Amino acid sequence: MPGRTVGGLGEAGILRILNRRFAALPAAGDWPEGTVGPGDDAAVVAAPDGRFVISTDAMAQDRDFRLDWPAVSCGASRAGAGDHAHGFTGGYSIGWKAAAQNLSDMNAMGADATGLLLALTMPHATGVSWTDGLAAGIAGAVRHLGARRCRVVGGDLGSDDRITLAITATGDLGGRPAVRRTMTPEVPASDPVDLVLCGRAGWAAAGLAVLDTSRDELLDRLRRADPGVRRLAALAAAAQLRPRPVLGAGRRAADAGALAMMDVSDGVAKDAGRLALVNGRRVELDPDWVRSDAGVLEPLARALGRDAHDWVAAGGEDYGLLAVLPAGARPPHGFRRVGRLAPGGVPDGGGEGRGAEAAVGPAEGPRKGPGQDPDQGGWDHFARGD
């Protein structure tokens, strides 16, 4: 259907395009007695353990994603995030990433995702094939990342000059306690604890650097680099466009006795700083870990004139899992030690950043302890006054 746009299809026509993709998910047909599937004023979803996990994330065109990245031309399309025919810069990658970052939030609590809701606004001139790709990307992430219990349970359509997506995810803890950002059980303030990471760090940031380079400059820089660098560039672009949160690792860490956990959306340094702050400690990242992870990306960083250490320590959007373990505990399968939370931070006071005091968004205390700056590196939409 090349060239066709959604304008004039009516909401019903667009829903048919989206629903064809979502109905193909393994869990799509599974609506137990007493629940209500999509198509009503609201859905009714099972919450077998008497609770549900929920979070929401919004993405806007030109801020959180772009429609004009030259990824395909630099080889990213061969990097293989799934068995589909969609180009990397079409709707597929945007749908994938939006779903992935929401599934990651469920993972970070130790929960299995059970549902996604999609609030989508787009211009009338949006292509039918782009819209179909978006839905395929959402379904693709659910399927390929292994969220077997996850269905699309509802949504909302609107028209706007630009594309925005807000996805809400729900999850089920299967009777387990949630793993929070604050340590449970508490650990004496004088005891250090280990910081372990599952998943890659710095790859999405490297990918952003690749995608932000003009095609001509990129080809020129890659031509002058080692042969392996081109492949590295494609993998990094794929990591940015189709991040792969390590679903299941959250539950594994919970079973292994993780004291606290969060996913890495804003970079290890910043997110570890958040963990430190709410737990009254300071971060000590292991320089050997940074060096070791940066080593893999080093040839690409050199080719682009960038710093791989920065990517690893401060780069966001890889959606790895950062967990806190008792000092010396053996990391669960797939996790590696990246540092520790040491005594000496300014206690958060238990107020700001969680509980009744904080109703929206991630915990982020107002004060910064000596020797730490959780806002160092990483991304804050409103940190600058411009």
- Give residues 45-84 in contact with a second copy (rule: CB under 8 A): 45-48, 50-60, 63-64
Query: What minimum distance in Å lies between the beta carbon of 77 and a second copy?
Result: 28
Q: What's the closest the beta carbon of residue 110 comes to a second copy, in angstroms?
A: 10
User: Between 257 and 351, whose beta carbon lies closer to a second copy?
Assistant: 351
Q: What residues form DSSP beta bridges with 87?
A: none
One residue of 100, 120, 141, 258 binding a second copy per CB under 8 A? 120
Residue 185 or 382 having the CB closest to a second copy: 382
Residue 37 engages a second copy in binding (rule: CB under 8 A): yes
Positions in 136-155 near a second copy (CB under 8 A): 151-155
134 binds a second copy (CB under 8 A): no
Does the protein bind a second copy through residue 132 (CB under 8 A)?
A: no
Instruction: Please select the residue that binds a second copy; options are 71, 76, 99, 111, rule is CB under 8 A.
Output: 111
Q: Please state at what angle helix 203-211 crosses helix 287-304, rounded to 10 degrees.
A: 10
Nearer to a second copy, 63 or 223 (CB): 63
Residues near 304 by Cβ (< 8 Å), separated by ≥ 6? 209, 210, 213, 221
Could you check whether the bond before residue 26 is cis, i.e. omega within 30 degrees of 0?
no
Q: Is 147 in a helix, a strand, or coil?
A: coil
Q: Does residue 1 touch a second copy according to CB under 8 A?
A: no
Q: Is 336 helix (H, G, I), strand (E, B) or coil?
A: strand
- What is the C-alpha to C-alpha distance for residues 261 and 241, in angstroms, rounded to an integer? 24
CB of 12 to a second copy, least distance (A): 4
Q: How far is the CB of 129 from a second copy (least distance, A)?
A: 16
Q: How far is CA 362 from CA 195, 339, 358, in A?
A: 19, 22, 9
Which one-letter amino acid corresponds to residue 142? V
CA distance 194 to 108: 17
Q: Strand pairing of 193-198 and 320-326?
A: antiparallel
CA distances from 327 to 26, 74, 187, 222 (A): 40, 44, 10, 43
Element (H, E) at 106: helix 91-108
Q: Which stretch binds a second copy (CB under 8 A): 27-35, 87-95, 223-231, 287-295?
A: 27-35
**Residue in 81, 117, 201, 297 binding a second copy, rule: CB under 8 A:** 117
What is the smallest separation between the CB atom of 262 and a second copy, expressed in angstroms? 5
User: How do 260-264 and 281-285 pair as beta strands?
Assistant: unpaired
Of residues 208 and 290, the one with the C-beta less far from a second copy: 208
- Region 162-191 residues binding a second copy, contact defined as CB under 8 A: 164, 166, 168-171, 173, 177-178, 180-181
- Is the Cβ–Cβ distance between 253 and 110 less than 8 Å? yes
**Site membership for a second copy, residue 279 (CB under 8 A):** no
Short-list 42, 23, 45, CA closest to 34? 45
Closer by beta carbon to a second copy, 46 or else 225: 46
Report the nearest approach of a second copy to the CB of residue 148 (Å).
16
Site size toward a second copy, by CB under 8 A: 106
SS3 195: strand
Work out whether 3 is an interface residue with a second copy (CB under 8 A). Answer: no
